[in-house]
Each structure stands twice: as C-alpha cells, then as structure tokens.
Structure 1
Amino acid sequence: MNNNINLTSGEIASLWTNYMNDSMSKWVLLYMLKDLEDSDIIPIVQHASELSISHLEKMKEIFEKEDYAVPMAFEENDVNMEAPWLYTDIFCLNYVNHMARVGMVAYSGFLTMCTRKDIRDYYTQALQSTAELYNRTLDIQLEKGVNARHPYIMVPKEADYVRSKQYLSGLNPFNEKRPLNAIEISYLYMNIMTNALGMKLCISFAQTSPNKEVQEFMLRGKEIAKKHLKLFNDLLMKEDIEAPEVPDVAVSDSTTWTFSDKMMMFHVSLLMQAGVGNYATAASQRSDLMLNYERLSLEVAAYSKSGVDIMIKNKWLEQPPETKSRDKLAREKDRID
C-alpha cells in the first residue's frame, strides 16, 4: 500500500529524531541493567531496554525499504560496560519514568507529523507501549513510596468566572498576589521533579567525563537546575504549599569513564529540549510566573547553544536530514557544464 508513497519531511524528521533518541536510551539502559539489584525494578528497566531495541529494529526496516541512510547515532563504544555502578536502583526507576514521560510527548508529536499509514501505525503503537511503561514505573514508585504526589488542595464546590484583571497581576510588589491555582501548582511541582533529575544526571556526567570543557558544561547545567529548583520551591513555600520531597536519586562517587562525551552532550541536549517544552506549556495566568518561565527558558536556550557549540567543535553533532540548496545545485551544474 505504501510502496509508491514517498516519505514526507515530517516523517523523515520524526524517524531520524526517534532513532537518535532510542539509540541513546538503549545504551544507557543496558548500562543501568548490569548493576541493578532490586527485583521489582530490574524487569521494568529490562522492558524499557527491549522497547528501545524493538523501535530501532523497526526503524531500520523502514530505512532499508526507503533507501534512507541509517543515522550513525550511538554504538557500543559510546558506553563503558566495565565501569562501576553509577546510579542507585531508585534513580534508574525514576529515570525510566521520566524518559517515558518525555517519550509520550515526543511520540504524540511524531504521530501528528506523519501521514503514511505504516508510519502512523508504528507511532501509535510506540505511544501506547510508552504509556504502558510510564504507568508500570509509576505503579512501582507508588508501591515503594518514592513517588512525590502533587499537593492536595480543596476540591471546588462551585464553578465561577474570573471577575477582575487583578487575577493576572503578580509583578507589582504593592499589590497582593492571588493564590496559585491548581494548574500553576501542578506545573511548578513537575518542573521541580524534572530539574532534580537533570541536576543529578549533570553531576554524574561531570564527574565521569575526561574532557575539561564537558565537565565545566555539566557543572554549569547542575547550577542552572539547582537555581530553577530553588525558585520553584520558593514559589510553593510562599503559598504555604509543601514542596515535593525528592526521592533517592543519588549517584555514586565513581569518576571512571562511563559514557562518551558525545552521548552525554546529546543526552543533556534532549533533556533541555524537553525542559523548555515544559516551561513553554506551563499554563499560568499570573504575570510573575509567566515572566519567570520566559526568563528561565531564555537561560536554558543560551546554555543549550553553548552545548551545541561544544558538539560542533568536537564533531559530535550529527546533522539531521535536510533539503538540497537549489542555488548550490545550479552553480555546481554550471561548473560541470
């Protein structure tokens, strides 16, 4: 049915991005698996690893049929399987839960960019299996008491409309700010948890990288995540809302080379993209919160740009598929003629 239908730019972009992400996930999860001890967590990480591998195999089949160059992505030499353990079992569980959340957002986006039925079928299945993985990790987090629940607030007893533009205010220090609403609390809570995980990953990458420039980049990322964490925590505490108790997401004191600098830089870049997406969708109608999210997004964007510069400098940044420059083709044709 699809043999004579060429891939669109949306499908090419989705498959390339998906392949890069799953290639990275495959090796990180395989590394984590070798040191896990918790019998409840091992099957979950194993299942996540198998999902990544099955996705890669499916995409390779599509690439072969379409004569589509397989991305270089990541290989066995990008991870040191002999390195000592780096992450606690609970960290690995929380990591899989977070990456499943990122994956659900990505797959739903990929699905909307694709029109060919076989590609849509693949992303529909990938979205469903990733949602199942997310639910399984969350169930285990709850069983082990390592999932920080969102705060409880009073259930509304009646519906109402906003009656004043003061509802949007928040910047004027002389005006009293209205209380945070449920939507704003939820996003603040989520962003605290994601920054906590990102901070620990940056620490682990900084202490195991042999490259001074990468070390400094990761330490800077740790400080940015810590600053954002404090800001979000403070906003909740000012409202007498208990900030989430971050579960055990510790890393060991190993300084042994574990992941390639290329993979670590890509990983942090992926997390930053997800983080900026979280900030962009963090619905808020209080002006001080809107301004904070905008300011923090710009800070993350600047940090991300410095990471891209490092990757280009060291030839770690794989180029996405692109269209041909018509002007260049014309000039090259003239030279040949």
Structure 2
Amino acid sequence: MTSTSHIPLSSSELNNVWMTYQKKTLIVRFLEHFQEHVEDAEAKQILKEYYDISSKVVTDLENIFRQEGAAVPLGFTDNDVIKGTPKLFDFHYDMMFARLMTKISIGLYGLYSTMSYRKDIRDLYKQLTFDGQSIYDKCTGFLLDKGILSRPPYVSMPKGYPFVQDQDYLSGYHLLKETRSLNTTEVSLLHHAIETNLTGMQLMIGFAQSARNEEVKKYFVKGMELSKEVETTLGDFLRKDFIEPPATHAGKVTASKVPPFSDKMMMYITNLLSTFGLGSNALGGAFSLRSDLPITMAQIGQKIYFFAKEGGEIMIKNRWLEEPPKVEDRRKLTR
C-alpha cells in the first residue's frame, strides 16, 4: 500500500483542512471567553472538553500543513479575544453557542469526509464527526435538563401508510380554500430553522452593542432585524396550525458594551452562520411539499445572501478576509 506521505493533498482536501482550521481557531477563541465566566460546574466541564478537543485539532491541522510544505493559515489568534472583559452573554448562552457550533460542524464534517481520498484525512473527519456528536449530545442533554430547549411538537402516531390522493397536497396558497396542515417533515424543518435563528439573533444583538467599527455595528443591527424577520415569517407557518414556535428564556445579552472579540472575528462567524442559514433554507425548501414553503424559503434565502455579500465586502474593505488556497492561474498563458 502506498504511504500517504507520498500522496499530496488534493485541492478539495487542502480546502477542507484550511476551512476546518479557520473554524476551529475561531471556536477556541470564543470558548476562551466563555470559560472565563461559566459558573455551572457541568457546563464548565463540557466547555473545557470542547476547548481541549478543539485545541488539539488546531495543533493536528498545523502539523498537516507543515508536513505538506504549506503555510499555516493565520486563522484567529490571541489578538482576536480580549481577556478580562465582562461577559457579553448570560444564562447558559455559552452552551447554546456550543450546541449550535457542533450542529454546524457535524454537517460540515460529513460533507468534508465525502470529499476526502487520503486515508489520514478520512480518519481525521471520522474522528471530528465523532467528537462533534459527543459534545452536541452533552450540550443538548444539559439544555434540556435546564428547561432551556423547546422540544418540537408531539403528534399522534400513524396507524397506517396512506398515500397522497389529491394534487392539492402540493399547493400552498388558495384563494377559495384552506391549505392543508403541515406534515412532520415541514414542522421539523421550520422548528430547526427558528431554533437556530434564535441563537443567532442573540449573537447579533451582542455584536451590535459591542462592535468598535461603526459600519460593522450597523451591519450587525441589520443582522438583528433580519433574524427577527426570519423568526416571525417562519413562525407564522407554525402558528397557523396552532403550534407555538420554539422560544427560550435563556441566553440573553448582558448590558456590557465592552467588546470581548475583535470585529474581524465577529464578522467571520456572522458570515459562517449566514452560509449555514442559506444551506438550511435550501434544505427546507427542497423537502417541503407545500409550495408556499419553498417560495418563502427562497425569499428568505435571497435576503440572507445579500446580507452575507455585504458582510464579505466589509471584511475585504478592512482586510479581514483570509484568502483560501487557489490554483495556479494558467489562463494568462493563453493570452
């Protein structure tokens, strides 16, 4: 069997390792702030485990870059977190954030795993997936025990396997008659999107009141307003079927206006969550069989896209956007 040391990273593997490094260094910095202020003993243990795992991964990724003769990316450093600042978020937001990041990570690692060919890289993402699921499980159990997470609604168990008989099942808007009620696929996707958005909304509020750059501050205010619009729009689908959208009394922003994070890092994670939101909306639209849902998801997705695009422009303007590895430009040879 050929040794992997003689097989260079493919373009997809290099990109995925590079992207993982960006995200993992970001998570480490956020966890440093959260660990300064965590009071609950169980939460403290989970956050420390998450931090230790993430720090080790950062070191492992740095070794991969060096072994390949590639420059180690900058990612996010000690300069992106300010130690000794007051906590920006209160009452178990740290665990809500950790759960959200592992939720995003598990999906990304599954994708990266299917794009990997070298055995050591496949093994890397297999382990990262396992670790992510472990932390996600602990965060979810903790938040449920504390009464912070809202469970999706319960429904009566099916007693048979009926088939759709009416073409109107696919319709979502009628002037003369009511639309059908939501099915469990649609309810679960709506619940997931709203739950994720609630965590993101508090993040935008905290960022808006602590950002230094005035343009960045205004951008986060737009993020607050967009998050509210998404929650209201998607929540209305549930309310029409007399289902309460997910909500939580926890994880609110404190009164502190002292920034614990760099504007660069806050912009980057906002871009990451916007990308995740685009993917979630695409998934929700693809699996929803009522035509009004994909239309609404597409409209929301368009707004998220332009929000993310504006964020990218701000990051480039301030030289905060680290460029991914690129292929050699051979097109100039044909000119």
Same fold, judged at TM 0.5 (above): yes
> 1:334 corresponds to which residue?
none
1:123 equivalent among 118, 122, 125: 125
Cα drift, residue 83 of structure 1: 1.2
State the alpha-carbon separation in 2 of the partners of residues 328 and 76 from structure 1: 40
Q: Is the 8 A contact 2:186 2:288 kept in 1?
A: yes
> 2:288 corresponds to which residue?
284
State the alpha-carbon separation in 1 of the partners of residues 290 and 175 from structure 2: 13
Cα drift, residue 193 of structure 1: 0.9
Cα drift, residue 173 of structure 1: 2.8
1:38 equivalent among 37, 40, 58: 40
Counterpart of 1:326 in structure 2: which amino acid? R
> 2:92 corresponds to which residue?
90
Cα drift, residue 327 of structure 1: 2.9
TM (norm. structure 1) is 0.96
Q: Is the 8 A contact 1:169 1:288 kept in 2?
A: yes
1:102 equivalent among 101, 104, 129: 104
State the alpha-carbon separation in 2 of the partners of residues 329 and 320 from structure 1: 23
> Is the aligned partner of 1:304 residue 2:299?
no
Counterpart of 2:297 in structure 1: which amino acid? Y
Q: Secondary structure at the match of 1:3?
A: helix
Counterpart of 1:6 in structure 2: which amino acid? P
**Alpha-carbon displacement from aligned partner over 1:31-79 (angstroms, at most 9, x marks no partner):** 1100111111111111111121111111111111101111111111111
State the alpha-carbon separation in 2 of the partners of residues 261 and 173 from structure 1: 48
Cα drift, residue 146 of structure 1: 1.3
State the alpha-carbon separation in 2 of the partners of residues 84 and 46 from structure 1: 19
Moved more, 304-313 or 139-148: 139-148
> 1:269 corresponds to which residue?
271
Unaligned runs of 5+ in 1: 332-337
> 1:9 corresponds to which residue?
11
Cα drift, residue 318 of structure 1: 0.5
Cα drift, residue 178 of structure 1: 0.5
1:328 equivalent among 322, 332, 335: 332
2:52 equivalent among 50, 57, 67: 50
> 2:199 corresponds to which residue?
197
Q: Is the 8 A contact 2:200 2:273 kept in 1?
A: yes
State the alpha-carbon separation in 2 of the partners of residues 45 and 247 from structure 1: 21
The share of aligned pairs that are identical, in percent, is 34
Q: Secondary structure at the match of 2:103?
A: helix
Counterpart of 1:68 in structure 2: which amino acid? A
Q: Secondary structure at the match of 1:154?
A: coil
Q: Secondary structure at the match of 2:219?
A: helix
Q: Is the 8 A contact 1:147 1:247 kept in 2?
A: no
Q: Aligned Cα RMSD in Å? A: 1.1
Aligned length: 331
Cα drift, residue 330 of structure 1: 6.9
Q: Is the 8 A contact 1:41 1:89 kept in 2?
A: no
Cα drift, residue 329 of structure 1: 5.6
Are the structure 2 counterparts of residues 29 and 89 from structure 1 closer, same or farther at C-alpha, using a change threshold of 3 Å? Answer: farther
Q: Is the 8 A contact 2:91 2:250 kept in 1?
A: no
Q: Is the 8 A contact 1:87 1:250 kept in 2?
A: yes
Counterpart of 2:264 in structure 1: which amino acid? K
State the alpha-carbon separation in 2 of the partners of residues 153 and 249 from structure 1: 28
Unaligned runs of 5+ in 2: none
Moved more, 138-147 or 17-26: 138-147
Counterpart of 2:279 in structure 1: which amino acid? G
State the alpha-carbon separation in 2 of the partners of residues 318 and 247 from structure 1: 37
1:195-274 → structure 2 map (5 Å cutoff): 195-274=197-276
Q: Is the 8 A contact 1:148 1:247 kept in 2?
A: no
Structure 1: 4+ residue segments shifted above 6 A: none
Counterpart of 1:303 in structure 2: which amino acid? F
TM (norm. structure 2) is 0.96
State the alpha-carbon separation in 1 of the partners of residues 257 and 332 from structure 2: 48
1:293 equivalent among 279, 288, 297: 297
Q: Is the 8 A contact 1:36 1:89 kept in 2?
A: no
State the alpha-carbon separation in 2 of the partners of residues 138 and 170 from structure 1: 33
**Alpha-carbon displacement from aligned partner over 1:235-256 (angstroms, at most 9, x marks no partner):** 1111011222324010111111
Q: Secondary structure at the match of 1:40?
A: helix
Counterpart of 1:87 in structure 2: which amino acid? F
